[in-house]
Chain A
Amino acid sequence: MSEIKYDITIATTNRTLVDGQNFAFTPGKITFLLGESGIGKTLLSKAFFGILDEEGLTITINRQAYQDYVKSRPIMSMRQNGFFVFQEPSTHLNPLLTLKQQLNEGTLAKLSDDDGILDDLWHKTGREVVQKILNLYPKPYRPSGGEKQRILLAMAFKKMALLRQKRRQSKRALFVFDEPTGNLDDAYRNRFLDILFEQYRQLGFTILLITHDYSMISEIYRRHKNIINRIEFKELTRINGAAVHMQPFSAERYLSWLREQHPPAALHKKQTSRASVLQIKQSFSVYDRRFSFYSTAKSNKPVELCIQKGEMVYLKAPSGGGKTTLAKIVMGLQPAQNIRFNLAGLTLTEKSKGGIWPKYIWGKKAVMAFQHADEALNPQATVWENFRGLPATTSLTKKTFKKHLNAVFDKNIDERFMDNKAGLLSGGQKQRINLLRALLLNTDLVILDEPLNGLDFNSIRKVLSIIHQKQKQGQSFLIISHNEEIFDHFVPRTHIYYLRHAVKQ
C-alpha cells in the first residue's frame, strides 16, 4: 500500500499550536516517529486518531473540518479496531476502578481470558503476583509506573487478540503507542517489542510508535532484522514557529554515528592532572538508607567515587535508586548522613553549614542542570531573562548570547527567540536552554541530570560535542542518565560507577 499524507493544523483562538505538514505513513507498516519532546508528536497523533478534545481548538485535517474527519468511515474503522496507548499511564488510568476492571472495560470485556497476555508482559513473574497487582486501584505511587504501563500495553494486546476474530478488519486497524517504553527498563522494553512484532507478523495492522528512545533502533537492528523492511523510521522536525514537517530518519546514520563514538581515553591520560574535582567516600546514608558506589554492576566491594579534572564520570543506578539525590547532596540541596566529600578543594560533610554552597560553590565551583527542563526554567520569564543574572554573564549581551544559542540549536536563531516565554517553548528547546545555562558557566564540575531527555538526534550530537569541548578545556562532568547505550560509548569503562544500596560485608 502506498503512503498516505495528512496536513494537520491545530490552533487556539490566539495562536497555532502545531501545523503538521506531511504527516505521512504507510498503512500496514510500522512507523517509528522520533523527534524532540514537545514538538507536537502526541497532539498530531491524537488528532489523526480522532480522539483530540476539540474544545477551545480549531482543528483541520487535509482542509477538512475535524468533526467530518472523525466521522469518516475509514477513520472510524481504524479507531474502532485499533487502540491508543497513552504516554503517561498514571494519568490515563481511573483511580476509582481496579486495574482488572479497567482491563475488561468496553470491547475489551469480550476477551475474558487475558492470562496469556499478562504472562507474556510480566515475564517470569508469578501469576499470583500479577493477580495482586490487578486487584489494586491505581494511585500515583502504586503500582509502579512500569506496571501501569504494562497494563495499558496489555489492553492494546487484548485488542489485537480480538482482531483475530475479524481478520478482514485487521488491516484497517491502527495501533498508536505514545512513548510505550518510557517507564520500562531495557529487558521489559525488549519483551514488549518481541510481542508487538509477533502480533504484527500475524495480523498485519498499522502501527505508529512515538518514542525518544533511539536505542530501540539498535535493538531492532540487533534482534528483529527480518522485519526491518516493514519498518519506517520518521522524524518530526520544526520548520519555523509552529510548522513541523515529518521526514524519513536514517537509522543507519544513527547506528554508524554510535559506532564511531568512543571514550577519549588518550586525551584523558594526556590532559588529566591528578587534581581531583570531586571525591566522595565509599558510602553515605539518606535517612535510613545506606548507599555505596561500585565499579561494576556485580561487584560487592564499595569504591570511592572520584572525578578528576577534565574527566567525565557516568553514574548508573536503577530508576529511583538515588542518582538525583546524590547530585542534590553534592550541591547542598539535600541533607545526608555519614557523608564526606571533597569538591574542588573544599571538604564537605553533613555538618557543613548551608552558607558555604551559595558563597563558594553554586555557579563558581560547580553547577547542576536539573532533570526536568520544564520545571528548571521560569516559564513566565523569557529565554533571555532566564540567563540574565548568571554570575558569569556580566559581560553577556544579547549578541554574545545569540552565539551561544546557535551552538545548541540547529539553525541561526532568530533574535525574537530570546524574547519568547520559556513556558511556550517545546520540551526539546527547554532542555537545550536548561543545559546551556549550566554549560555557559566555567565551573570545575558540571552535574548533568538526564541531559539527553527529550532531545532529538541532532540535538543529542550537538550537546555531546559541546560537552566534549568543555571537557577538553578542563571541566569535569558527572552524568546521570538512563540512556546507557550512548553514554556507554562516551565514557571509559573505568569512569562508570554503579550506585546501589550498600551490601553488608
Chain B
Amino acid sequence: MKISDSIYLRGINRIKSFWGHTLYPQKDKLWLVIWITGILLLIWWNAIFLNRPAFKRLLTGFGNTLFIASLVIVFTLILSWIMTWFLYVLRHQKKRWGFMSVTFVLNLIRSVPQIVGILFAYVAVQGMLYRGMISSDVNIFVLTALAISLFIFLEVVDLMQERIRYFQNLDFYNAMRVCGFTDWRIINFHILWKNSRIHILNKVISVFGMAVFLQCSVDFIISVGLSTQVSAVNLPTTLGSLLANIDSKQDILAIGYSLSHPGYISNLFFKHLQGLSTAFILVFTLLSVFKISNGFADRYRL
C-alpha cells in the first residue's frame, strides 16, 4: 500500500515536472528545437519564393559554414587534448624549460586577436591557392578550419588544464595514483572524460558559435575586398561571402528603404530574400548558440 502510494506520488510529480520542470527549464533543448525549426521554416520559405540560383547559393553557403564550424570543433578538441597532455607530461617530468617554452608560444598565440590571426591565416591559404598547392574545396575547408582552430583551441586547453589542476588537489587523484593507476588513465578517463565532459561540451557549443562568427566575419571582410591579392573569389561560398555579395548588399539596404517607405516592407519577405535570409541565419544561429550554451550551463549547474 505504501509502495503504491509512493509510486502514485512520483507519478504526480512526473506529470507536474513534464510541464513545470522537465520541459521548460531545459532551455538548451528548447533552443535547439527552436533553431532547427527556424532554419527549416526559412529554407521552406526560400524554396518557394527565392530564385533557384540564389537558393542554391544560400544552401551551399549555409552548408559550407556548418561544415567548417564542425571541422573547427573536431580540430579544436584534438589540438587541445594533445596540448593539455603535452603540458601535463612536461610539468610532471619537471622539464621546466620545455614547459616554459611551450607556455610562451601559447601565450604568443593568445596575444594575437583572434580575428586578426584568422585573417592572416586566410592570406596564407590564398597564397597556397594561387601557387596551386591546394585545389579541392575539401582541402580549403580543412585548412580554413585548422586556421580558425589554432586561434580558438587555447580556450579549451585552459579549461582542460583547470579541470586537471582542480582534481589534482582532491584526494581521489592521489588515492588512484598510490593504487598504481597510470596517469594516462586518471587524466583521460577519470578526470577529462568522467568528470569534465559536460564542461568541455559546454565549451564546444561556444566554440561552434565562435567558429561561425569568426569565419563569416573574415569571409565578409575579404569578400568586400582586402587587397587585389586576397579576395574570396576563389574560395567556396560561405554565409560571410554571401553576405558581401552585391545582391545581398542591396537586400540589406532595402531594410533602410522600407523604414522610410513602410509600404515596401512586404517586399522584404519576397524580393530581398538572399541577403536577409543570410543575415537572419547568422544572427539567429549566434543567438541560438548563446541560448543553448546558457541553458546547458544552467542544466548542469556549471
Binding site for B on A (CB under 8 A): 7, 9, 11, 13, 16, 19, 58, 60, 63, 328, 331, 333, 354, 358, 362-364, 366-370, 372, 375-381, 385, 389-392, 434, 437-438, 441
Contacts and interface: CB of A to CB of B under 8 A. Distances in A.
Contact of A13 (B14, B175, B179, B189): B14
Given A13-B13, A13-B21, A370-B174, A378 B190 contact: yes
Interface string B126-164: 000000000000000000000000000000000000000
Contacts of B189: 381, 385, 389
B6 A16 contact: yes
User: Interface SS of chain B: helix, strand, loop or mixed?
Assistant: helix
Contact of A380 (B13, B17, B180, B194): B194
Given A13-B21, A375-B171, A378-B195, A63 B2 contact: yes
Interface residues of B, number: 29
Given A19-B6, A363-B181, A391-B180, 12 more contacts: A13-B14, A13-B17, A333-B174, A368-B178, A369-B175, A375-B172, A380-B195, A381-B189, A385-B194, A390-B180, A390-B181, A441-B179
B172 A378 contact: yes
Interface of B: 1-2, 5-6, 9-10, 13-14, 17, 21, 94, 170-172, 174-183, 185, 189-190, 194-195
A7 B185 contact: no
B119 to A, nearest CB: 41
A9 B180 contact: no
Contacts of A381: 189-190, 194
Nearest to B176: A378
Contacts of B13: 13, 58
Nearest to A354: B94
A390 B179 contact: yes
B9 A375 contact: no
Given A370-B175, A377-B172, A378-B172, A9 B10 contact: no
A375 B170 contact: yes
A13 B10 contact: yes
B295 to A, nearest CB: 19
A83 B179 CA distance: 44
Nearest to B183: A358
A13 B7 CA distance: 11
Contacts of B172: 375-379
Contacts of A7: 2
Contacts of A364: 180
A358 B173 CA distance: 13
Contacts of A16: 6
What are the 7 tightest A-B residue pairs by CB atom distance, in nearest-first order? A363-B180, A375-B171, A376-B175, A391-B180, A380-B194, A389-B185, A370-B175
Nearest to A393: B180
Contacts of B171: 370, 372, 375-376
A237 B270 CA distance: 72
Q: Which of B183, B190, B195 has the most CB of A within 10 A?
A: B190
Nearest to B1: A63
A362 B178 contact: yes
Contacts of B1: 63
